[in-house]
């Protein structure tokens, strides 16, 4: 089953949020999901410490030497492996990309995120050339406005498409519920059912966004 790698040398672009959203939604579909937390900030391990949804297992503290064998060991029938990487340019990142069936490069709709994120995209292309095989990759815009699409976002989307890049739609909207997943653990459906989980946002809208995003990723894995 596929290995999905979240990559961007820039921190704070939404790699961990994308990883949690995909892990929880694929698990809800019945997949056995293994999440590898390779970020020294341990965002996913913190999320997991509050409770994991059924079907998700997590491995943390994975370094450069362990990444390839750990992905190999986690991969198997009926399993989806999701790798959340550190927000720096490291060999850990390049090695993880080499094992991916899909590399997702999240970026906020800003020039800085696009510029730094493009380093990861360039690395994927160079690894494809060096290894002599294609590595599917796509960009997802994150923390976008729910109300209006900004001029910068429109221009960035145009540029990405113009460069022949695969842009995952929908984007991940800036929703309080996504941030609160790291405070409460588990998934968005649990958040909806538990009145004690207060997000101050629209969980149903976040869930709808998460489902459509996961569906778009699923289409790229077929």
Partner 1 sequence: MSGSNRLAGLKARSKDTTVAEVRRVDEVGEARGFVDRSPRKKPGRKPSPRTHQLHPKVFPEVGEAIAAEAERLGITQGQLVEVMWEAYQTRSDG
* Binding region for partner 1 (CB under 8 A): 1-3, 9, 26, 29-31, 63-65, 68, 72, 75, 78, 80, 88-95, 97-99, 101, 119, 122-123, 126-127, 130-131, 133, 211, 214-215, 218, 221-222
Burial of 193 (0-12, 13-18, 19+ CB in 10 A): exposed
Q: Which two structure tokens, joined as six digits, stand for 93?
A: 């990142």
Query: Distance between CA 175 and CA 153 in Å, rounded?
Result: 17
User: Cβ closer to partner 1: 66 or 174?
Assistant: 66
CB of 181 to partner 1, least distance (A): 19
**Helix or strand run (H / E) with residue 43:** helix 43-49
Instruction: Give whichever of 75 and 166 is closer to partner 1, judged by the CB atom.
Output: 75
Q: How far is CA 89 from CA 113, 160, 199, in A?
A: 14, 21, 33
Q: What are phi and psi of 136, to 5 degrees?
A: -65, 140
Return the number of the residue (203 or 217) whose C-beta is nearest partner 1.
217
CA dist 25 and 30 (Å) reads 9
Instruction: Provide the minimum distance between the beta carbon of 98 and partner 1 in the complex, in angstroms, as a whole number.
Output: 4
Nearer to partner 1, 153 or 189 (CB): 189
The least distance separating partner 1 from the CB of residue 200, rounded to whole angstroms, comes to 28
Q: Supply the minimum distance, in Å, between the C-beta of residue 110 and partner 1.
A: 21
Contact 74, 53 (CB under 8 A): no
Check: CB of residue 12 under 8 Å from CB of residue 22: no
Minimum distance from residue 12 beta carbon to partner 1 (Å): 18
């Amino acid at each position: 089953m596929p290995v999905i790698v979240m990559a961007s040398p820039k921190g704070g672009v939404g790699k961990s949020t994308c990883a949690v959203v995909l892990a929880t939604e694929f698990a809800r579909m019945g997949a056995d999901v293994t999440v590898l937390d390779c970020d020294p900030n341990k965002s996913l391990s913190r999320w997991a410490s509050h409770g994991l949804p059924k079907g998700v297992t997590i491995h943390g503290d994975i370094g450069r030497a362990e990444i390839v064998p750990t992905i190999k060991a986690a991969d198997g029938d009926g399993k989806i492996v999701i790798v959340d990487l550190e927000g720096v340019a490291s060999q850990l990142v390049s090695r993880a990309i080499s094992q991916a069936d899909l590399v997702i490069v999240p970026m906020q709709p800003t020039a800085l995120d696009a510029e730094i994120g493009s380093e990861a995209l360039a690395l994927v292309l160079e690894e494809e050339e060096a290894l002599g095989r294609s590595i599917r990759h796509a960009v997802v815009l994150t923390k976008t406005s729910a109300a209006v699409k900004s001029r910068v976002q429109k221009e960035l989307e145009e540029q990405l498409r113009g460069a022949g890049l695969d842009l995952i739609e929908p984007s991940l909207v800036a929703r309080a519920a996504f941030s609160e997943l790291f405070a409460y653990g588990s998934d968005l459906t649990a958040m909806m059912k538990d009145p004690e989980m207060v997000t101050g946002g629209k969980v149903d809208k976040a869930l709808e966004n998460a489902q459509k995003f996961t569906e778009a990723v699923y289409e790229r894995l077929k």
